[in-house]
């Protein structure tokens, strides 16, 4: 209704000015019958109102389409009945654009599914030669073999990040909720990273309560903890440090703390560390930083309904907390 009046305001104003201009011409010509003049004005207004009513009835569908800003009602707008050719033509144009939009969306979704399938297959294919190299080097104890092992571990972690990144968009089909013994899972992550920890002189401490079970997806949580441990090692200062994984229970939540003694995060970067591709000041010092690790951690926690918090002090270390709600 507001759009109708705004559209016809200039026409109404023009008709009023035209009506009084004609009356003024007759008045200057000597016709001074006031009752006839008022009747002419009244009759002119009646004709204008009848015309506006006719226009409103004929074009109400069009104005309703143009006034609706909610894109979710596009199907309803396309099926709306209209009474005039202009509104019908606009409706037909919207229908053509909508069909083109749907076709393009389906095409892009199909391309994305093919891309994700290719990435997953490629990652699995790349893991096979890495496993073979591990088997070839088994039992060999020398600096060169150790270095090759380290590089293979780095490649494996990179492939895992690619795999989990590609699966994030199709999270639900790969999602399995179950009770998980938190201390056991933390111990498995520490064991998987033992070579990385030893090489960087990081001494891990598993201080998680053996009795604590959390409701989560074990595979995705393993990736989260593994990423936090990897980050803690990567941003250590190169000297012997401790890495503590501690559990706590407070305010109806179970808390897992990953606490390191690394270089810490500058205060200006703390609020943005969970943004995609944001590396910050520390990331510019370490060429391996991609800015995707903590982003993936935050996104996975959000989908698992786990909160994540981070506190850090430059030169003292960083503490990341994962909060699991306690289900009755």
Q: What is the pLDDT of residues 95-134, one digit of tens each?
A: 788 788 889 999 988 888 888 788 878 888 888 888 888 7
Q: pLDDT-based confidence at 255, cuts 50/70/90?
A: very high
Average pLDDT value for residue range 26-37: 70
How far is the C-alpha of 190 from the C-alpha of 291, rounded, in Å? 23
DSSP H or E segment with residue 8: helix 2-28
Kindly report the pTM of this predicted structure.
0.67
Neighbours of 241 (CB within 10 A): 17
Among all chains, which residue has been given the structure tokens 């994305």? 112
List, in sequence order, every residue forming a beta bridge with 178; answer none if it has no partner: 216
What's the chain's average pLDDT?
A: 81
Vertex 282: Cα angle to 208 and 254 (nearest 5)? 20
For residue range 59-102, list pLDDT tens digits in order.
Answer: 776 666 666 655 555 666 666 665 666 667 767 777 788 788 88
**Residues near 128 by beta carbon (within 8 Å), at least 6 away in sequence:** none
Q: Is the pLDDT of residue 310 over 90?
A: yes
Average pLDDT value for residue range 2-13: 70
Q: Is the pLDDT of residue 43 over 90?
A: no
Vertex 141: Cα angle to 140 and 145 (nearest 5)? 70
How far is the C-alpha of 41 from the C-alpha of 20, rounded, in Å? 8
How far is the C-alpha of 258 from the C-alpha of 293, rounded, in Å? 15
DSSP H or E segment with residue 256: strand 253-260
Asked if 271 contacts 252 with a C-beta cutoff of 8 angstroms, the reply is: no
């Amino acid at each position: 209704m507001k759009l109708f009046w705004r559209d016809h305001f200039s026409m109404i104003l023009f008709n009023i000015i035209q009506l009084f201009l004609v009356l003024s011409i007759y008045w200057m010509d000597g016709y001074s019958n006031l009752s006839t003049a008022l009747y002419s004005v009244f009759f002119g207004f009646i004709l204008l109102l009848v015309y506006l009513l006719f226009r409103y009835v004929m074009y109400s569908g069009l104005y309703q389409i143009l006034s609706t800003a909610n894109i979710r009602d596009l199907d309803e707008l396309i099926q709306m009945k209209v009474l005039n050719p202009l509104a019908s033509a606009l409706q037909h144009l919207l229908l053509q654009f909508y069909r083109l939009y749907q076709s393009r969306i389906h095409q892009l979704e199909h391309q994305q599914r093919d891309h994700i399938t290719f990435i997953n297959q490629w990652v699995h294919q790349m893991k096979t030669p890495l496993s073979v190299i591990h088997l070839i080097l088994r039992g060999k104890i020398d600096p060169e073999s150790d270095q090759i092992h380290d590089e293979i571990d780095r490649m494996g972690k990179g492939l895992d990040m690619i795999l989990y990144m590609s699966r994030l968009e199709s999270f639900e089909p790969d999602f399995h909720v179950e009770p998980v013994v938190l201390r056991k899972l933390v111990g498995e992550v520490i064991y998987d990273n033992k070579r990385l920890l030893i090489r960087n002189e990081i001494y891990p401490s598993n201080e998680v309560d053996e009795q604590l079970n959390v409701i989560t997806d074990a595979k995705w949580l393993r990736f989260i903890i593994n990423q936090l441990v990897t980050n803690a090692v990567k941003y250590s200062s190169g000297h012997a440090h401790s890495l503590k994984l501690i559990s706590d229970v407070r305010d109806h939540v179970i808390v897992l703390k990953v606490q390191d003694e690394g270089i810490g995060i500058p205060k200006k970067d703390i609020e943005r560390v969970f943004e995609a591709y944001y590396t910050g000041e520390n990331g510019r010092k370490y060429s391996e930083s991609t800015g995707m690790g903590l982003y993936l951690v935050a996104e996975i926690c959000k989908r698992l309904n786990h909160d994540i918090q981070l506190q850090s002090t430059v030169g003292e270390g960083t503490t990341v907390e994962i909060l699991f709600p306690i289900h009755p």
